[in-house]
């Protein structure tokens, strides 16, 4: 961004900050209200923002969009700028670029990006960008989460940056290619038009702002906001003790071979700079839990924003951060390595950053959240011959922290995306949720208990259906910190004539066949606990018992609750034992 010489006072800066954010927020809402598929309309798996005209850096993002898209969309805009340079072209007014290339500013093939240069007085002021998760874009598995993919071609159609509009003229041929490669072309076309409308609205709102405040003053405000974010981030890093801190966690497998994959971090604080070194992580794998370099950076951004929540959401956050990622790593793959399950890997990246930060400052960090979106797809044909595809993701417990218990049944910490309401899913697809409940004992024990996961049981109401699941945390539970216990692991089973059956790879599988009236059951992990369970106030333990959050066995074995001969809680014995345990614990520490 070219810095302006126009001075700006703090009040005007605050007003412009709010106006820019409002533009992005309105773009979000426009798409949410107009999208055809529930993943965008209900779950809000989309995002909009403003990006630097020269560098592509993130300037402003809406409050409702997915945080994971903040960093990634910057790489998407950079990809368009790079494509223009390669073609020896300049951006033209009315152009709109579209693509889903996960290796060039993307995440996975379901996330389609639209990028538009915004001109004012004949100059490019910034880029507007929109991204949304489309319901189906081809590939071997309806809904595109193919846990056994070994190359991206098995995950869906890949579109490089191409012009959807050229100087304002819509290129129907591009849309026709997209429509021909989806099982749900009407849904795709509706989502595409929703994103186009969101960009149009953003452009109109931006012109109104520029007409009111002027090009130079507005540009100066965006630069000031970026500088402020960098300064705040450096100040917060410099308040941490210098040193090297390490953490590692594991993925169950890659969907192909039942071999765990390591995500390792060595985090170094060096005055006002932070180094994130992932050099000890596993090499690129055969299955679809690989991710691109841009996705890794974006996931780190999300984790840092959780930890440094007061810093504004723009590219200035990443300026003091140094990334060290090996070229052949699971965290920096190139085409055609499959990347469809990127959500599972970025959740583990967030976990290791939280765990490393817990070594530096436990009061600043939090325990691990449930760590998997459990991408579940059910698909088949209705009695009238029409195709249906139910794709959804599901929630779990969040990690506890020094000030309280983790959130029960929350959304993944990579996003603000919500879990689609069961009423919407039941209305749209031939399924019935016979159970949707909190999962007892799933949160890790601690002075502050991890949030609870959930139990979902889904019954098929059509003659036949095919099921696939792309999940994680089936082998390695979400961990607690500062003495807190781990949560329960993920569990998925499906109904057959002789009962319920596990998947061979625990958390991943395709081709499961269901008949009318048969069910699938998903039991999601909770969050890790914080602090020793012996320090949890007894009133809270008893309250957890009364609410059914924990079982009597957990109360006895973990929280050391004692019972009398009639099977009732003996408060006196419990209090006495807890005091003795706390005394022993304090002496050891």
User: 3-class secondary structure for 471-494?
Assistant: CCCCCCCCCCECCCCCCCCCEEEE
d(CA 114, CA 97): 5
Q: How far apart are CA 527 and CA 443, in angstroms?
A: 5
CB 494 within 8 A of CB 435: no
Q: Which residue, 389, 448, 316, 312, is CA-closest to 14? A: 312
The neighbour count for residue 322, using CB atoms within 10 Å, is 12
User: Residue 584: what pLDDT?
Assistant: 76
Contact 143, 391 (CB under 8 A): yes
Write the CB contacts of 269 (distance below 8 Å, at least 6 apart in sequence): 237, 240, 241, 242, 243, 245, 360
Angle between helices 293-307 and 342-360 (to 10 degrees): 40
Residues 159, 165: Cα–Cα separation, whole Å: 15
Buried b or exposed e, range 95-122, using 16+ CB within 10 angstroms: bbbbbbbbbbbbbbbbbbbbbbbbbbee
b vs e for 252-277, b when ≥16 Cβ sit within 10 Å of the residue's Cβ?
A: bbbbbeeeebebbbbbbbeebebebb
Asked if residues 441 and 554 have their Cβ atoms less than 8 Å apart, the reply is yes
Q: For the chain of 589 residues, list the mean pLDDT of each consecutive stretch of 10.
A: 65 96 96 93 91 95 79 92 96 97 92 97 96 94 92 96 98 98 96 98 98 96 94 96 98 97 98 98 98 94 91 90 97 96 96 97 96 96 95 95 96 74 94 97 98 98 97 98 97 90 96 96 98 92 94 93 84 83 71
CB under 8 Å to 537, separation ≥6 — which residues? none
pLDDT for residue 5 = 54
DSSP H helices, 382-495, are 422-428
Give alpha helix (H) positions in 164-184. Answer: 172-180
Give the residue from 201, 193, 198 showing the smallest Cα distance to 36: 193
């Amino acid at each position: 961004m070219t810095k302006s010489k126009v001075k700006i006072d703090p009040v005007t800066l605050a007003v412009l900050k709010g106006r820019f954010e409002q533009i992005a927020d309105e773009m979000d809402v426009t798409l949410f209200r107009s999208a055809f598929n529930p993943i965008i309309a209900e779950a809000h798996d989309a995002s909009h923002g403003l990006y630097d005209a020269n560098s592509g850096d993130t300037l402003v993002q809406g409050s409702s969009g997915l945080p994971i898209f903040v960093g990634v969309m910057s790489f998407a805009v950079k990809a368009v700028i790079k494509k223009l340079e390669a073609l020896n072209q300049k951006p033209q007014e009315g152009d709109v670029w579209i693509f889903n290339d996960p290796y060039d500013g993307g995440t996975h093939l379901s996330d389609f990006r639209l990028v538009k240069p915004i001109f004012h007085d004949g100059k490019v002021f910034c880029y507007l960008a929109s991204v949304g998760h489309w319901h189906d874009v081809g590939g071997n598995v309806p809904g595109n989460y193919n846990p056994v993919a070994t190359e991206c071609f098995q995950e869906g159609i890949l579109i490089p940056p191409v012009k959807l509009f050229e100087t304002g003229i819509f290129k129907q041929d591009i849309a026709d290619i997209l429509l021909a490669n989806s099982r749900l072309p009407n849904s795709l076309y509706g989502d595409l038009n929703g994103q186009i409308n969101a960009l149009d609205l953003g452009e109109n709102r931006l012109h109104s702002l520029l007409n009111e405040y002027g090009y130079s003053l507005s540009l100066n405000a965006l630069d000031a906001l970026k500088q402020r974010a960098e300064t705040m981030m450096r100040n917060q890093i410099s308040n941490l003790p210098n040193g090297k801190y390490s953490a590692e966690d594991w993925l169950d497998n890659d969907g192909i071979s039942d071999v765990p994959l390591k995500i390792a971090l060595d985090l170094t604080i060096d005055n006002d700079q932070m180094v994130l070194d992932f050099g000890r992580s596993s090499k690129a794998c055969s299955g679809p839990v690989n991710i691109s370099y841009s996705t890794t950076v974006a996931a780190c951004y999300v984790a840092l924003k959780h930890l440094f929540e007061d810093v504004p959401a723009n590219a200035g956050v990443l300026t003091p951060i140094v990334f060290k990622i090996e070229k052949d790593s699971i965290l920096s793959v190139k085409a055609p390595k499959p990347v469809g399950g990127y959500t599972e890997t970025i959740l583990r990246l967030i976990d290791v950053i939280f765990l490393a930060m817990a070594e530096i400052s436990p009061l600043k960090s939090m325990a691990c959240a449930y760590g998997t979106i459990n991408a579940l797809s059910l698909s088949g044909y209705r009695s009238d011959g029409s195709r249906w595809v139910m794709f959804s993701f599901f929630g779990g417990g969040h990690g506890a922290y020094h000030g309280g218990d983790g959130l029960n049944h929350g959304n993944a910490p990579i996003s603000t995306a919500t879990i689609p309401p069961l009423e919407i899913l039941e209305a749209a697809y031939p399924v019935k949720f016979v159970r949707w409940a909190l999962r007892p004992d799933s949160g890790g024990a601690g002075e502050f208990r991890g949030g609870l996961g959930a139990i979902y049981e889904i019954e098929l109401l059509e003659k036949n259906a095919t099921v696939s699941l792309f999940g994680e945390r089936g082998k390695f539970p979400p961990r607690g910190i500062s003495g807190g216990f781990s949560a329960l692991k993920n569990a998925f089973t499906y109904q057959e004539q002789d009962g319920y059956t596990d998947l061979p790879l625990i958390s991943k599988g395709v081709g499961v066949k269901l008949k009318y009236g048969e069910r699938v059951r998903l039991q999601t992990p909770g969050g890790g606990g914080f602090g020793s369970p012996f320090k949890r106030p007894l009133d809270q333990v008893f309250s957890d018992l009364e609410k059914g959050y924990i079982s009597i066995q957990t109360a006895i074995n973990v929280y050391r609750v004692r019972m009398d001969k009639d099977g009732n809680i003996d408060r006196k014995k419990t209090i006495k034992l807890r005091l003795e345990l706390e005394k022993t614990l304090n002496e050891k520490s």
